[in-house]
Structure 1
Amino acid sequence: MNRVFLGTEAIASGQLTEHELRRWHRCVYPDVYVPKSADLSLRDRAWAAWLWSKRRAVVAGVAAAALHGSNWIDANEPIELIAPSARRHQGLIVRNETLADGEVTSVGGVPVTTPARTAFDLGRHLPATTVTARLDALMRATSFSVDQVTQLALRHPGARGVRQLRAVLPLVDGGAASPKETWLRMLLVEAGFPSPTTQIPVADGWRLLAVLDMGWEDIKVAAEYDGDHHRSIRAQYVKDRRRLRRLEELGWIVIRVIDEDRPNDILRQVREAFRRRTSPRSTVA
């Protein structure tokens, strides 16, 4: 018996008595039970939601992205289901939408929207402030193509939110390794800078010196987002300083961004780097 199960099925099969069910398990959705001590993962909760739907629904949205391997998703994120005529329930997002052939796959035995269909749904339903980061993370995990999602938009022309989806798709980049990197890239693009290349490898002779978060290789300007571990772990800090010195020797200007930096200050530094590199007297090593 799985640790997430239907109570009626467990009793009918003789695996549990009704007394054992009530004493040792708790109900998460009507007739869906787990051990009282269980700390449920998002995968467990997705399985529970699917059982609650009488195995008729398909897991979609952010939960589907998590099942496909996307990072930066909280275990308590609401589970989204696509289930025609299904009733609503607290803690679930239930959508009555059309799924065409080829838009559903299986992950761990649970029906889940394909990566492309998941991207199609995220791009339409999520707030504009979070959608690009979610799509970046999904592309990093699954390598879905923008063309696949565009074809889905043509297949479902009347679907809600398609206008937002079409606007955000050209901005998706699977090279973003965190939501903060997505935020930094979008800050630069929205300020009018050319869209930066992500995950730029920099060689030092025969060895790989660094993979820069984002930048413009033609003028050797890069921007990197430094998480707390870059400062709080001494060995990482020392490694970063040595790497930065060598990058500068190779002709790179690297703008290091931390959480406390103000957007205007970041943009000022990038503008200054562009000015230095695009002035008539500038030379790039």
Structure 2
Amino acid sequence: MDTPDILTVAQARALGTSRKTLRGRKAEHHLHGIYSPVRRERDALTLHRSLLGAAGFRGTDVASQESAAALWGFPDVLPPKDLHLLSVAGDRRTRVKGMTGRRGLVLPEETTLLAGVPLTTPARTWLDLARTSGVMRLILWADWLFNPVWGGDWDREPLSTPDELKALLERHRGKPGIRTARLAADRARVGSDSPQETRLRLALVDAGLPEPAVNQWIYDPVTGERIHQGDLTYDEVRIDLEYEGEHHSEKGQVQRDIARSERLQRADWLELRFSSSHTRNNWLPAIHKTREALLSRGWSPPGN
């Protein structure tokens, strides 16, 4: 059996690693009762993952909140300074320097293993983050859970579903952050391919414009064949909204974008393209651009 990279004194005893080895010149002391038999360089995420694996060895604690979020790959979440742990035994842990412990209702189906580390599921991690996070961040994370392809890994399976979040909210009524979580869950949508798509959608709705569909297929009105899967679309007035990230400046992508535009034009669809320049002043340029396009296609604001 291979010796873990980082281990507790109890693990060391079970593996036959002596205390002398753990306290030797080659070893490294990380936290209370947690050592590396051999000192080595590690990136922040690798170190955090190994420490969490050692901390969860007893089976009474699992990684939670920012620690679990970092392991799952939540966007814009870095490994926190302390290990964030949740007691599955329901008892109150004595605080130890470098560890932040909480207790609360956690059901067996709300914990799992990831690369050998016990942690909360993606959905439960999201709910725990509602304690300290705002609505916007929770919406972005929920959209990512439903479609975790942000960053280009197009083969990833969803880490959660709207129904799973809804069931979780029902089970944990009264939990700190539950109101914020409910607001975010109501506004999260399946299919977003990037955080900017989510931000654009929310900005348009908050400005009083209709909510566009997310990643819906556009069909040729004559042949019925699929033309394009739009970022955000208004099917009733045939408007497609595309947020162009940095990769759209690549030669091959530019050619594909031109071909897409030509196909949409032949099908009488109006394509609106957005970039970082449209995000200024809380997306005001994007809002004006979309409003004008909607009006040009016969949309009437409510009350008119």
TM-score (norm 1): 0.81
Task: Please tell me whether residue 163 in structure 1 is matched to residue 179 in structure 2.
Answer: yes
The alpha-carbon deviation at position 169 of structure 1 amounts to 0.9
- What secondary structure is seen at the aligned counterpart in 2 of 1:260? helix
Task: Please tell me whether residue 245 in structure 1 is matched to residue 259 in structure 2.
Answer: no
Change in Cα spacing, 1:51 to 1:219, as seen in structure 2 (3 Å) is same
| RMSD of aligned alpha carbons | 3.1
* Structure 2 match to 1:235: 252
Q: Deviations over 1:82-139 (max 9, x none)?
A: 1242244566543222213432222233322234323322344422331111111122
* Structure 2 match to 1:266: 286
Q: Distance in 1 between matches of 2:118 and 2:196?
A: 31
Q: Distance in 1 between matches of 2:113 and 2:168?
A: 19
Find 2:126's aligned residue among 93, 101, 119.
119
Whether contact under 8 Å (2:32, 2:97) holds in the other structure is no
* Structure 2 match to 1:186: 202
- What secondary structure is seen at the aligned counterpart in 2 of 1:278? coil
Task: Please tell me whether residue 254 in structure 1 is matched to residue 271 in structure 2.
Answer: yes
Q: Which moved more, 1:29-38 or 1:102-111?
A: 29-38
Find 1:197's aligned residue among 198, 208, 213.
213
The alpha-carbon deviation at position 209 of structure 1 amounts to 4.3
The alpha-carbon deviation at position 19 of structure 1 amounts to 5.0
Find 2:55's aligned residue among 47, 52, 65.
52
The alpha-carbon deviation at position 206 of structure 1 amounts to 8.3
Q: Distance in 1 between matches of 2:96 and 2:246?
A: 39
Q: Distance in 1 between matches of 2:256 and 2:107?
A: 50
Unpaired runs of 5+ residues, structure 2, are: 149-157
* Structure 1 match to 2:106: 99
Q: Distance in 1 between matches of 2:67 and 2:213?
A: 29
**Which residue type is aligned with residue 113 of structure 1?**
T
Q: Deviations over 1:140-195 (max 9, x none)?
A: 24353333333333333221111111111111123122222221121112112222
The alpha-carbon deviation at position 230 of structure 1 amounts to 1.3
* Structure 1 match to 2:84: 80
Change in Cα spacing, 1:27 to 1:243, as seen in structure 2 (3 Å) is farther
Change in Cα spacing, 1:151 to 1:200, as seen in structure 2 (3 Å) is closer
* Structure 2 match to 1:61: 65
* Structure 2 match to 1:138: 145
Identity over aligned pairs, percent: 26
Unpaired runs of 5+ residues, structure 1, are: 281-285
Whether contact under 8 Å (2:204, 2:211) holds in the other structure is yes
- What secondary structure is seen at the aligned counterpart in 1 of 2:257? helix
Q: Distance in 2 between matches of 1:256 and 1:97?
A: 46
**Which residue type is aligned with residue 93 of structure 2?**
A
Change in Cα spacing, 1:39 to 1:62, as seen in structure 2 (3 Å) is same
- What secondary structure is seen at the aligned counterpart in 2 of 1:222? strand
* Structure 2 match to 1:283: none
Whether contact under 8 Å (1:105, 1:111) holds in the other structure is yes
1:17-36 aligned at under 5 Å gives the runs 18-19=20-21, 22-34=24-36, 35-36=38-39
Task: Please tell me whether residue 276 in structure 1 is matched to residue 283 in structure 2.
Answer: no
The alpha-carbon deviation at position 217 of structure 1 amounts to 1.8
Q: Distance in 1 between matches of 2:209 and 2:24?
A: 61
Number of positions where the alignment pairs a residue of Structure 1 with one of Structure 2:
278
Q: Deviations over 1:231-252 (max 9, x none)?
A: 2x22222322332233223222
Q: Distance in 2 between matches of 1:196 and 1:244?
A: 19
- What secondary structure is seen at the aligned counterpart in 2 of 1:24? coil
- What secondary structure is seen at the aligned counterpart in 1 of 2:215? strand
The alpha-carbon deviation at position 274 of structure 1 amounts to 0.6
Change in Cα spacing, 1:36 to 1:188, as seen in structure 2 (3 Å) is farther
Q: Distance in 2 between matches of 1:241 and 1:131?
A: 35
The alpha-carbon deviation at position 267 of structure 1 amounts to 0.3
1:210-225 aligned at under 5 Å gives the runs 210-225=228-243
- What secondary structure is seen at the aligned counterpart in 2 of 1:105? strand
* Structure 2 match to 1:108: 115
Q: Which moved more, 1:171-180 or 1:7-16?
A: 7-16
Change in Cα spacing, 1:99 to 1:241, as seen in structure 2 (3 Å) is same
The alpha-carbon deviation at position 71 of structure 1 amounts to 5.1
